[in-house]
Structure 1
Amino acid sequence: MPKVVDHDQRRAELALALWQVIHEQGIDGVTFRAVAQAAGVSVERVQHYFPSKDDLVLHGCRQMVASAVVDHGPPEAPGDPRTAAEELRSLLIGAMSESVDFKIGASVWAAYQSKAASSPGIGAIVTDALAERARALTRLLAGARGRGGREQPAPTSDDRRDALRLAALSEGLTLRVVVGAVRADEARRVIQAEVDRCVNDT
C-alpha cells in the first residue's frame, strides 16, 4: 500500500523551519537551503511545496496569522462584561513570557511587520491581520464596558481609540520582552493595569 502523505502537515513543518531561519537570519536570509537544513529535509522537498522563496515566505506569514487567530481571536465579544474583560487581557497578553518559543514567534512577527513596508504581498497580510486584531480588541473592550453584546449599542469611537492604544502598548511591550529590556511578568502587570483603567473609564 502506498504511503499516505499529509501535505498540510509537511507545509506546517516547513513553516516552523522557515520561522527558525527568520528568527536567526531575518527574512532576507531565507533560502531554500537554509529552510531545508532547519527542517532536516532536502532542498528538493522544500521546492516541491514552494516553487519560489517568495511563496515560502508568504505562506509562513499567512500561517502565522492563521495560528494567531485560532489561539487568540474570539469571533465576537461575550455578553458578560467580566468575561469580555478577561478575554481582552488574554488577547493583549497572549503567551507573553521569557520562553524560547514566545521569543521566536514574536521576533518573526516583528520581522514580517518590518518587511511589510517594502513587500506588497506581506504588507497586505500584515495590515489585514492588524486591522482584524484592532476590531477584535474594540469588540472586547466595548463588551467589557457593557456595550458590546448582540443587543447592546455598537462600539463607539472612544472604544476604537482606546483599543488601538492598548494594541500599541501590548506590541511595544512584547518587543521589549523579546530583547530582554522588560521582564514578561512586569509587562503583563502593566497591560492588566491599563486594561482595568480603560474598562472603568467609561
Structure 2
Amino acid sequence: MPRIVDHDQRRAELTEAVWSLIREQGLAGVTIRNLSQRSGWSSGAIRHYLPNREAILAFAAGQIGERARQRIHAVPVTGDQVQDFLNCLEVTLPLDGEGRVWLEVWLVFVGAAVSDQDFADAEGVLYRDLNAVFVEALGQFDRRGWLPAHTPGAAATEIHALLDGLSVHLLLHQITREQARVTLRAAVSRMVVGPAASP
C-alpha cells in the first residue's frame, strides 16, 4: 500500500526551514543546497515542490500571508466586536515567538522589495489581503455608526501603517510589547467609538 504523504505537513516543514535560513543568512543564503542541509530533505525532494531558487523565495514570501491569515482566523470570538477586532490586530504584531519569526522574515522581504519588483509584488499581495480584512471589519463598524470620522478604507490604511511601524519598532527592540499594545489600543479607541454611538 503506498505511503500517504501529508502535503500540508511537508509544506510546513519547508516553510520553517526556508524561514530559518532567511532569518540567519538573509535571502542570499537561500539555495537548494542550503535548504537541503537545513531541512534534511534531498535536493530532488525539494525540487518536487520547489524547482528552483525563485520558486523557493516566492513560496517563502507567500507563506507570510498564509501565516497571518491562520493567526487571525485562530483568534477566539468573544462577542465584543471592538475587542475582537483589537485581538485580530494584535496577532499581526511580533508580540510572541511565533509572531516574531514570520515578521522577521517579512522585514527581510520588505527590504528586498525596495529594489526588486518581484518581492514588491509579493509584499503587495500580503498588504492587499490584510487590508481587505481590515476594511471588512471597519465597514461593519461604519454601518453601525461606530466610525464617525473615517471611511473604512481610510481607517484601514491608518491602522495598517501603524501596525507596520509598530512591527518594525518591536523587531528592532525600540519599544516594549506593552507599549505597542497601548499605542494600538489608543489608536483604535480614537477611531472606533463603539456601541455607545449605535443608533
- Please state which band the TM-score falls in when normalised by the shorter chain: 0.7 to 0.9
Q: What runs of 5+ residues in structure 1 fail to find an aligned partner?
A: none
Match of 1:194 among 182, 187, 195: 187
Residues 98 and 183 of structure 1 are in contact (CA less than 8 Å); yes or no, is this contact kept in structure 2?
no
Distance change (3 Å), C-alpha of 1:126 and 1:193: same
For residue 193 of structure 1, report the CA deviation from its aligned partner.
1.1
1:45 aligns with 2:56: no
| Correspondence list, 1:14-25, <5 A | 14-25=14-25
Cross-structure match for 2:28: 28
Residues 65 and 129 of structure 1 are in contact (CA less than 8 Å); yes or no, is this contact kept in structure 2?
yes
Cross-structure match for 2:136: 139
Q: For the residues of structure 1 that align with 2:153 and 2:84, how far apart are their CA atoms?
A: 17
Per-residue Cα deviation, 1:97-125 (whole angstroms, up to 9, x for no partner): 55433222111012222323344433323
Code of the aligned partner of 1:160: G
Per-residue Cα deviation, 1:138-189 (whole angstroms, up to 9, x for no partner): 22223234x16xxx9xx99633222211111111111111121111121011
Cross-structure match for 2:114: 117
1:7 aligns with 2:7: yes
Q: For the residues of structure 1 that align with 2:131 and 2:18, how far apart are their CA atoms?
A: 27
Identical counterparts, % of pairs: 26
SS in 2 for 1:182: coil
Runs of 4+, deviation exceeding 4 Å:
none
Match of 1:158 among 144, 151, 156: 151
Residues 61 and 112 of structure 1 are in contact (CA less than 8 Å); yes or no, is this contact kept in structure 2?
yes
Superposition TM-score, scaled by structure 2 size: 0.81
Code of the aligned partner of 1:46: I
1:88 aligns with 2:81: no
Distance change (3 Å), C-alpha of 1:185 and 1:95: farther
Residues 21 and 29 of structure 1 are in contact (CA less than 8 Å); yes or no, is this contact kept in structure 2?
yes
Residues 22 and 111 of structure 1 are in contact (CA less than 8 Å); yes or no, is this contact kept in structure 2?
yes
How many pairs align?
192
SS in 2 for 1:3: coil
Residues 97 and 185 of structure 1 are in contact (CA less than 8 Å); yes or no, is this contact kept in structure 2?
no
Cross-structure match for 2:105: 108
SS in 1 for 2:175: coil
Deviates more, 1:175-184 or 1:122-131: 122-131
Answer 1 or 2: higher relative contact order, Cα 8 Å, separation at least 6: 1
Distance change (3 Å), C-alpha of 1:158 and 1:98: closer
